[in-house]
Amino acid sequence: MNIETRKLTLEDYDDLKESMQQAYDTLGGQIWSKVTIAKLLKLFPEGQLCIAVDEKVVACSLAIIVDYDEYGDKHTYQMITGAYTFSTHDPNGDTLYGIEIFVSPEYRGLRLGRRLYEARKELCESLNLKSIIAGGRIPGYHEYADKLSPRQYIDKVKAKELYDPTLTFQISNDFHVRKVLKNYLPGDHESKEFATLIEWNNIYYQGIDASARSAKTIRIGLVQWQMRLFPDIEAFYEQVEFFVDAVSGYKSDFIMFPEFFNTPLLQPYNHLPEMEAMRKLADQTAEIVERIQAYALSYNVNIISGSMPVVENNKLYNVTYLCHRSGKTDEYRKIHITPNEQKYYGMVGGDKIKVFDTDCGKIGILICYDVEFPELSRILADQGMQMLFVPFLTDTQNGYTRVRHCAQARAIENECYVAIAGCVGNLPKVNNMDIQFAQSAVFTPSDFAFPTNAVKAETTPNTEMMLVVDVDLHLLDELHHFGTVKILKDRRKDLYEVKLLK
């Protein structure tokens, strides 16, 4: 017999499924799907461990890393796993949280569970995590529930007066019980839906140093762009690079340009109908994005490139690009097209909305009118968004007021930061782009840790300038769990829901 403890792979799923079906018989046979296992392997491959006996996987341990202070001791399994999305996984957290461990019944005499626990402990030490925490079943409790409280039952197991197949094993592996959890895992009838919150402390833990903590403070740079005519595209690039250079000089993590900030380049096509002129401008988008991505690399800053027209399959889209300082490029296509964009340019809306992973956390991007539809940002919030970036273009104060107040509402209702950046001034000799009004800003949630007016900072209205702002993601973590109100948690999901259809 050959026994090997190693990292789990997706190729192991067939064996894993068979072992799960055997081990989960008492829980109604519910098992982890292949899609879920794939997600865990992508998020945290080091934390997914298995034991193969003669090359067949017969035991498994699944885990994520969390910042435990965000959840506290009263959490449920659904809460700690982000409703099974694992959006709660935080590589910068301090705790290894065990979300699953099992051994196929056919192999339980080989002490494979002990090997998995030892592998978890080694992982915890190697990652310099404070502890291992998990919610443990007490499957023997149903036999004593009519005469013992969960606490009394646990005390008797600890005193070895009673035997519980799970808790006895955990105690023998140096875990201690922190408290009893109610309604931790719905459907666990053997445990009467109670669980033990168990912990193993890493005595070699070195603590979190200042640099690790400061990684939660993110610096955002916004460009309030003056519309002006350029003699050629190189002059346009010079102005873009000027702002990238200036903002990166303050060691900003992000810089954002406004919606359609490149429309001064429409001037040579002003003799054409607006629809044709915009499609001519779209011919330059690929070159502009390539140049901006080069700036992101050379100036070490993530750039949200405002927005630009793109033609695909003869359809015209309004697209913004996230140029990562790592060299990667993502895109977002404006979903809600304004009547003006439809009338003058024949634009159509995109159909994809998702959170983008960056080296500074999870961000969302919406373009101008999109922020006036609260469903979009709520979907992003459910995907773990911490910062929402909104490049916009408004000609009148009425239009700006809609964008501003809707953006501020999105920050409050989704417990996130929202940054908006717009164009200012006048642009003669470009049809349909003649006047602009903007006041760029960064908005916050509304609670004691944030400004009383929920405005972190804002520019002078209608003046070309840049705004550099620090936001603290730790404050969002605290708000989610200890705020005066907890908007995301207090939603009545038994009555309503907002979900993405495609």
Cα separations (Å) of 330 from 6, 282, 356, 381? 34, 18, 8, 19
Residue 268: φ, ψ to 5° = -65, -15
Closest by CA position to 305, among listed 441, 318, 315: 318
259 is catalytic: yes
* Rounded CA separation 212/199 (Å): 24
Residue keyed to tokens 């009467």: 192
**Residue closest to 68 by CA, chosen among 211, 179, 199:** 199
Distance between CA 384 and CA 378 in Å, rounded? 10
Angle at Cα 32 formed by Cα 27 and Cα 35, nearest 5°? 160
CB within 8 Å of 25: residues ≥ 6 apart: none
Q: Is residue 290 annotated as part of the catalytic site, yes or no? A: no
Spell out the long-range contacts of 265-268 with Cβ–Cβ below 8 A and sequence spacing 24 or more. Answer: 265/230, 265/233, 265/236, 266/430, 266/431, 266/433, 267/229, 267/230, 267/429, 267/430
Token digits of residue 91: 């590589």
In the annotation, is 334 catalytic? yes
Going through 202-244 in order, the beta strands assigned E by DSSP cover 217-226
Give me the catalytic one of 124, 323, 360, 368.
368
| Contact predicate 371/330, CB 8 Å | no
Give the integer Cα–Cα distance in Å for 280 and 282. 5
The span from the CA of 173 to the CA of 201, in Å, is: 12
- Rounded CA-CA distance 393/430 in Å is 15
d(CA 405, CA 413): 12
Give every CB contact of residue 28 below 8 A, 6+ residues apart in sequence. Answer: 187
Q: What are the backbone dihedrals phi and psi of residue 22, each rounded to the nearest 5 degrees, phi first?
A: -70, -45
- Rounded CA-CA distance 496/331 in Å is 30
Q: How far is C-alpha 192 from the chain's CA centre?
A: 34
Q: Are 106 and 54 in contact (CB under 8 A)?
A: no
Task: Answer for the pair 192, 141: CB distance below 8 angstroms, yes or no.
Answer: yes
Q: Which is catalytic among the residues 199, 259, 341, 458?
A: 259
In the set 130, 216, 334, 362, the catalytic residue is: 334
CA distance 247 to 222: 8
Place of tokens 């006047």: 435
Enzyme catalytic residues: 259, 334, 368
